[in-house]
Homo-oligomer: A and B are copies of this chain.
Amino acid sequence: MVGTTGKIKVGIVGYGTIGKRVADAVDMQPDMELIGITARSYNFRIEVANKKGWPIYATEDADLEHLQKNGIRVKGDIHTLIRNADIIVDGTPGNVGVEMKKKYYEPAKIKAIFQGGEAAKMAQCSFNADANFEDACGKDYVRVVSCNTTGMGRLLKAVADKWKIKKVHATLVRRAVDPVDVKKGPVNAIVPSLKVPSHHGPDVNTIIPDIEVITLAVIVPTTLMHVHCLEIELDGKPPTTEEVVQQLDRTHRIFMLRGETGVTSTAEIMELVKDLHHQRGDVVDNCIWQKGLSVKGQNLFLFQAIHQESIVVPENIDCIRAMCTDMSKEESMKLTDRILGIKIKER
């Protein structure tokens, strides 16, 4: 699959919240080449991509005149991008990916990665780097699970690696919209997701099949991060609180927020990573409040914050390697983490 440069040629179709972040991350990898992104019309995201000198390809329904009038030089159409790529990362909105697969990727016989907004069954497997890297090896169509599922998957994998989980009770307190979505709400209300259990529990089972996960979800008026409230029932001799802290602290992409730092909310996490000069103010780690983590009897309690805009970025990078190379999970995750500067404490 890998071209003459020795690098994996990656095209990004759909340049929104996820697409633009994956593009940056691909561009930083030593073994990948960002060969282009797609544009439909001119906007501030395309302006920035253009300033970066990235090749821009027009979707079939693109407003070419609007793009050209605003100084965007279009290099070709989406078919050209797909033809020149080894793999496409599809960042189109939920349930559009499945259409893109039928219309473009399957006819072109091109590998593609989809995002968590797609139904699990549209891909050959779902993906979380730590939980099931190997499942994606050699596959053509893989779905990186959503932000909430990624966060749950990382955590539960780390716990299940050391102790036996009997059952997970989780309430997902979800941000209303991303910060840039100015037109949507709620602004002052709590909106329960009345489908019970919410889709998140079954979605975790697409990457970790054998753990019972019961999830309830509510949407609340904030834009910054999700917060998961977890009660994990353990089987057998329970660990100490300190043992759990140690296990999570040494896990990829999990960051323990120590009480002494004064980080009591999602707002302070966002401020912390901006102070640390994270690109875009992103935090791709699960952020767990150490002060709120405790083992009581057979139950492990904890709260974790999940940055919905960026948490899946490293998983997309690892998924590219799983699908296109022979690199091992451990090698890929380490490389991704080193290049992206994960995790907070190692920066």
Interface set of A (CB-CB < 8 Å, partner B): 169, 171, 173, 175, 186, 188-197, 214, 216, 218, 220-227, 229, 231, 259, 264-268, 289, 291-292, 294, 296, 299, 301, 303, 305
Contact status B190-A265, CB under 8 Å: yes
CB pair B190–A305 under 8 Å, yes or no, is yes
> A216–B293 Cα gap in the complex (Å)?
12
Contact B173 A292 (CB under 8 A): no
Would B190 and A220 count as touching, CB distance under 8 A?
A: yes
Least CB distance, A73 to chain B, in whole angstroms: 38
Complex interface: chain B residues within 8 A of A218 (CB)? 173, 227, 229, 303
What 4 A-B pairs have minimum CB-CB distances, sorted nearest first? Answer: A189-B267, A171-B171, A194-B292, A220-B220
Q: Which of B191, B197, B222 contacts A264 (CB 8 A)?
A: B191
Residue of B191, B192, B266 near A190 (CB, 8 A) is B266
B214 touches A229 (CB 8 A): no
**Do B192 and A289 touch (CB < 8 A)?**
yes
- Complex-state Cα separation, A257 to B259, whole angstroms: 40
- Complex Cα distance, B291 from A102, in Å, reads 35
A264 to nearest B CB, angstroms?
6
- Taking a contact as CB atoms under 8 Å apart, the answer to whether A189 and B291 are in contact is no
The answer to whether B296 and A196 have CB atoms under 8 Å apart is yes
A265's partner among B171, B186, B266 (CB-CB below 8 A) is B186
